[in-house]
Structure 1
Amino acid sequence: MVTQPLIDLQSATVRFGAKVALSDVNLTVSRGERIALVGANGSGKSTLLRAAHGLLPLATGRRVTSDAAAPRIAMVFQRPFMLRLSLQANIELGLLLRGVARAQRQSRALEALARVGLASEAQRNARVLSGGQQQRAALARAWALQPDVLLLDEPTASLDPTAKREVESLIDAFADQGITVLMSSHNLGQVKRLASRVVYLEHGRVLADVPTDYFFRGPLPQEAALFLKGELPWT
């Protein structure tokens, strides 16, 4: 039996005015995958994440989701936004907006905070937490929604090495739990550790979509090979 992808972008193009941010992109995201989007700054990684979520309109092409039921999708941004409320309230608000019954919101929020090691911080103002704690809190907020797909935009870009390891460990655990992960990253070591598939973008086009081991060992299009060697500029 062939399983339909959770998300299927078909010839997707995204424009911002005259600028083409994504051009004729095809991307399938199937249950259980761990996909990393890589490429220089401005290559279209963040735009592709938002298009996969359905947050951006497509100028051309289609976004198709599973016929059985639209997948539950949660997204964590590079700099998570926290309201000037307690950490627990920030988690509960996400559940409220998702339509979770009031009787369940508190227990699910506390369970999520415990899952990321922040149960003791539940009543602290979320905005006074460290960058690493806020990123873990954003992961807790996403996990509490019980997503089928977790979208991550440079989830450890501004964190110190200890916080990076903590966040990577959580992402790995969530994926092991069965959550499908689609993430962008500049950290190629992180890509090796977390991804099973790598999608390389340049100027809004997908130039390679291969298993992770092949990306680092196999022959690639010239642009992707130069990027891997560090011979392409980041901007």
Structure 2
Amino acid sequence: MRETTSILPLTLADVTWAVDGRTLLTVAAAEIHKGRRTVVLGPNGAGKTLFLKLCHGLIRPTAGRVAFSGSGGDARAPKRHAMVFQKPVMLRRSVQGNLRHALGLAGVGFFDRRRQVPAILAEFGLAELAGRPARVLSGGEQQRLAIARAAAVRPELLFLDEPASALDPTATRQIEELLLRLHGEGLTWVMTTHDLAQARRLADDVLFFHGGRLLEAAPAATFFTAPRTEEARAFLESRLFW
């Protein structure tokens, strides 16, 4: 990291987000800790993606506080966090062009970009695709590029919104192994998923949402063996549909 002071933990306190007087998300208290793999669970429409957007600073809370350590309370202040969306946005340029653009936005100079991009392509298994237009890649290849593009700027924290939701088992495993490797290299990440098996494989901590509310925040082992709420128990037993 370029800076020695960590932006973590990320703390949310008494957070609500409302539109036209309707509250769509409520988080009484939550923390994202350095070095932990946090998986956000809940049925469709539970508020998982809204939670990521609030944490990343794409939307601001109607009330409450979303604060990174040392950020003065502004989730957008230290751009040492990045986000990968469920459907990644590919720029109208090549695979290597997408990486160069991300590095350029992060302030990496021209010659450093030329030096770094081949190494990044090799690291993420994209070297053979370097000159291919990013928008014609398969879903799994686009998601790998999206993660590579986000990780290339060396964030401390990465948010991922269902990064393997539309992928086949092989591509899903590639994404999971990639995330585990990045975590092993020091990247803290927060990921939404609807795949309980995937959550069991990857999670250190679980945040469980239902109806726009954070109902449980617990270590994964505790959540999966002894959930506190009836909603969580129903979700784990596939009895909670919305």
* SS of residue paired to 1:158: coil
Pair 1:71–1:213, CA change in 2 (3 A): farther
Q: 1:100 is matched with which residue: 89, 108, 126?
A: 108
Does the 8 Å CA contact 1:208/1:220 hold for their aligned counterparts?
Answer: yes
- Could you list the runs of 5+ residues in structure 1 that have no partner in the other structure? none
Q: 1:226 is matched with which residue: 224, 231, 234?
A: 234
Q: Deviations over 1:166-216 (max 9, x none)?
A: 011001111111100101000111111111000100112111111111111
Q: 1:175 is matched with which residue: 173, 178, 183?
A: 183
Number of residue pairs the alignment of both structures matches? 232
Q: 1:196 is matched with which residue: 204, 229, 235?
A: 204
* SS of residue paired to 2:26: strand
- 1:59 maps to which residue? 62
TM-score by length of 2: 0.91
Quote the Cα distance in structure 1 between the aligned partners of 2:122 and 2:70: 34
What amino acid does structure 2 have at the position aligned with 1:186?
A: H
Quote the Cα distance in structure 2 between the aligned partners of 1:230 and 1:187: 11
TM-score by length of 1: 0.94
Matched, 1:116 2:119: no
Matched, 1:40 2:40: no
What amino acid does structure 1 have at the position aligned with 2:153?
A: L
- Superposition pairs of residues 75-224 of structure 1, within 5 angstroms: 75-224=83-232
Bigger Cα displacement from structure 2, 149-158 vs 213-222: 213-222
What amino acid does structure 1 have at the position aligned with 2:130?
A: A
Quote the Cα distance in structure 2 between the aligned partners of 1:13 and 1:111: 42
Quote the Cα distance in structure 2 between the aligned partners of 1:5 and 1:180: 9
* SS of residue paired to 1:35: strand
Does the 8 Å CA contact 2:11/2:31 hold for their aligned counterparts?
Answer: yes
Matched, 1:14 2:17: yes
Identity across matched positions, percent: 41
Please provide the CA RMSD for this pair: 1.6
Q: Deviations over 1:111-167 (max 9, x none)?
A: 222111011111111111111100000011011010100100001000011100001
- 2:53 maps to which residue? 50
* SS of residue paired to 2:174: helix
* SS of residue paired to 1:78: coil
Does the 8 Å CA contact 1:185/1:191 hold for their aligned counterparts?
Answer: yes
* SS of residue paired to 1:105: helix
* CA positional deviation for 1:4: 7.5
Q: 2:81 is matched with which residue: 73, 76, 81?
A: 73
